[in-house]
Amino acid sequence: MSAKPRTTGTVRAVFLDVDGTYADYGVVPDGHVRAVRAARAAGHKVLLCTGRPVSMLPESILAAGFNGLVASAGAYVEVAGTVLVDRRFPADLAARTVRTLDAHDAVYVLESQEELHVSPAAMERLQAILDAHFRKSPDGPVGTSAILGAVRPTANRAAVPFAKVSVFESPVAMERLVREIGEGIAVVANSVAEEGRHAGELYQCGISKADGVAAVIAHLGIAREDTIAIGDGANDLEMIAFAGVGVAIEGSSPEVMAVADRTAARPRQEGLVAAFAELGLL
């Protein structure tokens, strides 16, 4: 599919997924940094739109400079230092979620914008899982430290105000966890899922990256047709479908590809450089 760039001079709002889109295993290609800076210099608004919470965004990812960000897959929205949205799990849903995960001895992280919380007993297993994932990167396991640096071993996790949960390993399927937690919870695949290991991201029903995009453009006064969303994962589906131009990274799932207007190469090929140029952002 294809979509024509908007007229020269139009201010666009560009929303970039992080893992698998802007960065590869936590490493941002130099070309992507230059593309973001050039687009902003041309007057466009460029924002990250990620499943990660703020606490999981190291300086190495933020270094290009952004006009704002949508974090926790739409549960948190910030533009130029102004917080527009900050939704946490209601107390009852939070308690049911933690109780169910603990009953199955799952390895999980409660994600808040300030820090990440994990069971003290699960720290060693979490590090092993992250090391195994990021070791696949040609640059080595640099992403592990970026995540673990914000992790806090927390005994009383039911009292933590969190926005989302990343489950890295569960002895039962994610769908079963959702059924047992009950009303108000949903699940989507995450980028660290391993073959044979039940993993995913638990979030509040009715929240998506598209909601974050909508909040940003309402605040900035930018029309929906002047938005561009680029991503590769299951939690990018709604924002790619919502945007004026939706871009899927090559190799995305058929569901993501089906709602996209065009594609871009993967981070290893600095795909955003060509995509930004073709869309008239540079």
pLDDT tens, the chain, 282 aa long: 445 455 557 899 999 999 999 999 888 999 999 999 999 999 999 999 999 999 999 999 999 999 999 999 999 999 999 999 999 999 999 999 999 999 999 999 999 999 999 999 999 988 888 888 777 766 655 556 667 778 889 999 988 999 999 999 999 999 999 999 999 999 988 766 554 568 899 999 999 999 999 999 999 999 999 999 999 999 999 999 999 999 999 999 999 999 999 999 999 999 999 999 999 999
Instruction: Determine the pLDDT at residue 137.
Output: 67
Predicted local distance difference test score (pLDDT) of residue 201: 93
Residue 196 DSSP class: T
Distance CA 7, CA 91 (A): 47
The reported pLDDT for the residue numbered 1 is 45
Name the one residue in this structure whose structure tokens are 């006009």.
67
Which helix (H) or strand (E) segment holds residue 272: the answer is helix 271-278
pLDDT at 228: 98
Q: Taking the CB of residue 66, how many other CB atoms lie within 10 A of it?
A: 21
Give me the residue label for tokens 């994962």.
233
> How are beta strands 198-204 and 227-231 bridged, if at all?
unpaired
Residue 201, H or E segment:
strand 198-204
Q: In this predicted structure, what is the pLDDT of residue 226?
A: 98
**Could you give all domains of the chain from N- to C-terminal order, each with its CATH number?**
13-87+208-278 (3.40.50.1000), 91-204 (3.30.1240.10)
Distances (CA, A) of 30 to 41, 61, 134, 154, 229: 17, 11, 19, 37, 20
pLDDT at residue number 2: 46
> b/e for 188-218, b at 16 or more Cβ within 10 A?
bebbbbeeeebbbbbbbeebbbbbbbbbbbe
pLDDT of residue 142: 58
Write down the pLDDT at residue 257: 97
